[in-house]
């Protein structure tokens, strides 16, 4: 008898989907910070690995009474336990695995620099235009320093105008942004709303 497997349910409610996205971001941030804490502990103690009990809740003796280590190992990402169980039934968390996850060198003992915090506030007026304000590490960027590109096939543009907008945006953008812009213009969601597009556009099998 044929069997089928079902993937995880995907939220269709916009608010639920947004909350789930924030939940994933928070989980990833917690896992990364936990990896940094355990890595710092290993470096400070001159160790290349630490054994963690099979529940992944705390380190094995003689380090099981270290509260900070216990709090961190319980939130490590799955890939930190890539070595699996040893003969005693413990997980081994290796410095090399944490280095790979964090992108750090073995002898790098400097604290990991936090990445930039980018915040984008978009206000859309149903009867007018759209205003966008960007903040970098809590400071508002002047409008003259922010380039905004909006790709929206839903408003029903003509194909020739669409391609002209693509070429103008790609020419003005940085190389990295230009690559994303070109792909997004050439394979836009909602392409059926673009009027006058040639047959077979966008091409399949990108």
Shared domain for 146 and 81, answered yes or no, is no
Shared domain for 15 and 85, answered yes or no, is yes
Last residue of a domain, one of 102, 132, 164: 102
**pLDDT tens per residue, range 162-175:** 999 999 999 999 98
User: Where in the sequence is the domain holding 136, given as residue range(s)?
Assistant: 119-193
Please report the DSSP string for 160-181 in residue order. Answer: HHHHHHHHHHHHHS-HHHHHHH
Shared domain for 93 and 137, answered yes or no, is no
Q: Closest Cα partner for 49 from 8, 81, 18, 11?
A: 81
Q: Are strands 139-140 and 130-136 parallel, antiparallel or unpaired?
A: antiparallel
199 falls within a domain: no
**pLDDT tens per residue, range 40-95:** 999 888 888 888 877 666 788 888 778 888 889 889 988 888 766 565 667 888 88
- 5 pLDDT band (50/70/90 cuts)? low
The number of folded domains in the chain is 2
Shared domain for 134 and 57, answered yes or no, is no
Shared domain for 182 and 156, answered yes or no, is yes
Shared domain for 52 and 91, answered yes or no, is yes
31 falls within a domain: yes
Cα–Cα distance measured from residue 19 to residue 196, given in angstroms and rounded to the nearest whole number: 38
Shared domain for 128 and 59, answered yes or no, is no
Shared domain for 148 and 94, answered yes or no, is no
Kindly report the backbone phi and psi dihedral angles of residue 134, in degrees, each rounded to the nearest multiple of 5, phi listed first: -115, 140
205 falls within a domain: no
Cα–Cα distance measured from residue 200 to residue 147, given in angstroms and rounded to the nearest whole number: 32
5 falls within a domain: no
What pLDDT, on the 0 to 100 scale, is given for residue 113?
A: 63
77 falls within a domain: yes
- 1 pLDDT band (50/70/90 cuts)? very low
Shared domain for 15 and 90, answered yes or no, is yes
Q: Nearest-5° angle of CA 43, CA 46, CA 52?
A: 75
Q: Nearest-5° angle of CA 120, CA 183, CA 159?
A: 100
Helix ranges (H only) for 74-124 are 95-102
């Amino acid at each position: 008898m044929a069997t089928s497997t079902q993937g995880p349910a995907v939220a269709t409610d916009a608010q639920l989907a947004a909350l789930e996205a924030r939940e994933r971001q928070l989980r990833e941030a917690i896992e990364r910070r936990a990896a940094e804490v355990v890595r710092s502990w290993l470096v400070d103690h001159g160790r290349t690995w630490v054994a963690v009990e099979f529940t992944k809740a705390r380190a094995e003796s003689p380090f099981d009474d270290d509260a900070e280590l216990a709090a961190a190992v319980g939130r490590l990402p799955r890939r930190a336990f890539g070595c699996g169980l040893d003969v005693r039934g413990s997980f081994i968390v290796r410095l090399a695995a944490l280095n790979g996850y964090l992108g750090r060198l073995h002898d790098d003992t400097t604290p990991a620099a936090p990445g930039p915090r980018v915040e984008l506030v978009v206000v859309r007026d149903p009867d007018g235009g759209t205003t966008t304000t960007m903040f970098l590490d809590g400071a508002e960027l002047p409008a003259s320093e922010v380039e905004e590109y909006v790709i929206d096939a839903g408003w029903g543009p003509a194909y020739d105008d669409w391609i002209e907008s693509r070429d103008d945006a790609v020419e003005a953008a940085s190389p990295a942004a230009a690559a994303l812009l070109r792909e997004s213009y050439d394979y836009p969601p909602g392409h059926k709303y673009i009027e006058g597009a040639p047959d077979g556009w966008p091409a399949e099998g990108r």
